[in-house]
Amino acid sequence: AQSVAQPEDQVNVAEGNPLTVKCTYSVSGNPYLFWYVQYPNRGLQFLLKYITGDNLVKGSYGFEAEFNKSQTSFHLKKPSALVSDSALYFCAVRRGEAGTALIFGKGTTLSVSS
């Protein structure tokens, strides 16, 4: 069975500091990994994905994520946080086969203080 763990309910960082939002996954076969962000009263917005290739993936708004197969992790990072990055972040995994569901983690609230 597929599963995603986001071990931190909340991450607090100061503006200008680097941020990391952690994600580990469990899936049989090759994983397809995604990060989404949700602002209050809004739908989810796609940030980035890993399908294959380079382990470092760059996405929207300066975010990047590193796929680590041995640690089954896909942590989201940004070199310099902005107050506007404050939101709820979801990691998701899907098996690389047709007819499979996208499984989401419980989400991590990122709070960036000025």
Partner 1 sequence: DSGVTQTPKHLITATGQRVTLRCSPRSGDLSVYWYQQSLDQGLQFLIQYYNGEERAKGNILERFSAQQFPDLHSELNLSSLELGDSALYFCASSVNSGSGNEQFFGPGTRLTVL
Size of the site for partner 1 (CB under 8 A): 26
* Stretch of 10-18, 65-73, 76-84, 88-96 contacting partner 1, by CB under 8 A: 88-96
Counting contacts by CB under 8 A, is residue 25 touching partner 1?
no
Of the residues 26, 96, 111, 113, which one makes contact with partner 1 according to CB under 8 A: 96
Please give the structure tokens belonging to residue 27: 């899936």
Place of tokens 């952690």: 22
DSSP labels, 41-57: TS-EEEEEEE-SS-SEE
Q: Which of 83, 79, 102, 82 is nearest to 31 (CA)?
A: 102
User: Considering the rule CB under 8 A, would residue 34 count as an interface residue with partner 1?
Assistant: yes
Q: Is 40 in the site for partner 1 (CB under 8 A)?
A: no
Cα–Cα dist 60/47, whole Å: 5
Q: Any contact of residue 109 with partner 1 (CB under 8 A)?
A: no
Contacts of 42 (CB under 8 A, 6+ apart): none
The least distance separating partner 1 from the CB of residue 114, rounded to whole angstroms, comes to 28
The residue ranges that bind partner 1 (CB under 8 A) are 32, 34, 36, 41-46, 49, 51, 90, 94-107
